[in-house]
């Protein structure tokens, strides 16, 4: 090739590369100084989308909760956090606010992508991609949003004659809940538990502010809660119980760090009425224990009430279903940092049904170690001290 032609070809190639870089930079340039609502619509689909987004951004807090399952302050703060950390990017076509809104519509109402497509006028491929990106971004907040509970005595404990000083060392409650799952037919037997539908058994710990401090999702619905607890304790990054106790239900063994109620004794709040007060130390212990453990039931109730994808069979692969449980718990905690949640059920909602004493798995039922026996004896002493100090009120 003639040297001049070679030089010309190299120059053309250089120009093409430079143009491509400029176009890419322009396409993904930051829109931090641009009002995401003020983008000029280029088509009828853009105009429809902008109208819906404006409806969200300019709504009242109540309307925002109905649409996005959170108020405006936590929503815009979450978008700003993603922007500051580079977890999500504004593009010339889609703002971070739109991407997060899309995600919240899916998890808040269990909407399929084809339904979201009608509201946001985005292709199903775009919706799927942005959904995965936001799911990843939310997951990146796990370590700071789901943290071990404080070792300080909680004000709720300090301010209650029922709980203080007997439960002053209790830092939270732990329990399992079943989330409906969509799995292949060949796997459904393992996932079918007491609800006779495929579920995943999720174990979580909460503090007295109803915030999740540990979450383990993904176990089959047929798995026993005690087995899941053992798995959580054996993981390198699993559940740690420092100098404190966790309130648990009768499905867990009485062991150091975990304080269950007495089995075979009245337990739930609905079993005690004004004319049916506790008649002995164990019943009084169970009554007060139940009034504390209701915190974890309220947290689960708020979680499922806010994010309907957890109360219905989701339209996603099982691995994604597991990630969604954790993402919803992270968002739950994020929302509570901005104040009381609108969908947290009141304590009176959870009077509970009579306790079902489900048999413990053999590894726990047959435990007779000195450590476990000593822990059970300490629980008896605690119940007796509670009974001796309650006077004639018996509550």
17 vs 376, more confident:
376
**Percent of the chain with pLDDT strictly greater than 90:** 58
18: exposed, middle or buried (Cβ count in 10 Å: 0-12, 13-18, 19+):
exposed
In the sheet with 199-206, reading across from the earlier edge strand, the strands are 212-220, 199-206, 170-180, 245-247, 258-259
Is pLDDT at 179 greater than 70 in this prediction? yes
**Tell me, what's the pLDDT at 51?**
83
Task: Report d(CA 6, CA 4) in Å as an integer.
Answer: 5
Higher pLDDT, 373 or 335: 335
Q: How much of the chain exceeds pLDDT 70, in percent?
A: 80
Res 367: pLDDT: 47
Span 90-112, pLDDT tens digits: 998 899 999 999 999 999 999 99
Mean pLDDT of 354-371: 55
Q: What pLDDT was estimated at residue 37?
A: 47
Sign of the dihedral through C-alpha 338, 339, 344, 347: positive
Average pLDDT over residues 42-69: 85
Question: What predicted TM-score, i.e. pTM, was given to this entire model?
Answer: 0.83
Q: For the ranges 196-205, 231-240, 254-263, 367-376, which has the lowest average pLDDT?
A: 367-376
Mean pLDDT along residues 226-234: 94
What are the residue ranges spanned by the domains of the chain? 27-140, 154-389
Contacts of 298 by beta carbon, 8 Å cutoff, 6+ apart: 210, 344, 345, 347, 349, 350
Q: Residue 89: its pLDDT value, please?
A: 96
Q: Alpha-carbon distance 94 to 30, whole Å? A: 11
Q: How confident is the model at residue 118 (pLDDT cuts 50, 70, 90)?
A: confident
Say which residue, 218 or 365, is predicted with more confidence.
218
Distance (Å, whole) CA 136 – CA 230: 28
**pLDDT of residue 295 exceeding 60:** yes
pLDDT at residue 355 tops 50: no
pLDDT at 42: 59
pLDDT at 371 over 90: no
């Amino acid at each position: 090739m003639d040297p001049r032609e070679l030089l010309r070809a190299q120059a053309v190639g250089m120009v093409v590369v430079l143009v491509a870089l400029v176009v890419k930079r322009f396409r993904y340039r930051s829109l931090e100084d641009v009002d995401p609502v003020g983008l000029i619509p280029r088509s009828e689909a853009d105009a429809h989308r902008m109208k819906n987004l404006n409806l969200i951004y300019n709504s009242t807090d109540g309307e925002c909760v109905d649409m996005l399952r959170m108020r405006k302050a936590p929503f815009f703060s979450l978008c700003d956090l993603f922007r500051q950390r580079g977890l999500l990017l504004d593009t010339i076509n889609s703002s971070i606010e739109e991407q997060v809104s899309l995600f919240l519509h899916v998890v808040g109402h269990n909407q399929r992508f084809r339904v979201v497509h009608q509201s946001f006028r985005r292709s199903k491929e775009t919706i799927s991609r942005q959904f995965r990106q936001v799911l990843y971004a939310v997951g990146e907040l796990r370590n700071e949003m789901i943290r071990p509970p404080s070792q300080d005595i909680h004000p709720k404990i300090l301010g209650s004659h029922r709980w203080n000083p007997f439960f002053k060392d209790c830092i939270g409650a732990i329990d399992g809940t079943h989330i409906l799952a969509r799995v292949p037919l060949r796997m459904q037997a393992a996932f079918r538990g007491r609800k006779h539908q495929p579920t995943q058994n999720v174990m979580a710990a909460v503090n007295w502010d109803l915030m999740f401090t540990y979450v383990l999702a993904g176990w089959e619905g047929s798995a026993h809660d005690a087995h899941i607890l053992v798995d959580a304790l054996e993981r390198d990054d699993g559940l740690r119980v420092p100098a404190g106790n966790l309130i648990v239900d009768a499905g867990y063994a009485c062991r150091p760090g975990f304080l269950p109620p007495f089995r075979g004794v009245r337990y739930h709040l609905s079993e005690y009425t004004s004319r049916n007060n506790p008649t002995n130390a164990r019943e009084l212990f169970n009554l007060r224990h139940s009034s504390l453990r209701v915190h974890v039931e309220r947290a689960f109730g708020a979680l499922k009430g806010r994010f309907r994808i957890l109360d219905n069979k989701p339209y996603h692969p099982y691995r994604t279903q597991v990630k969604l449980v954790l993402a919803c718990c992270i968002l739950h905690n994020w929302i509570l940092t901005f104040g009381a949640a609108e969908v947290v059920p009141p304590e009176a909602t959870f009077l509970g049904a009579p306790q079902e004493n489900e048999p413990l798995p053999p590894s726990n039922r047959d435990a007779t170690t000195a450590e476990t026996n000593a822990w059970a004896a300490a629980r008896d002493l605690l119940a007796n001290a509670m009974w001796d100090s309650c006077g004639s009120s018996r509550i």
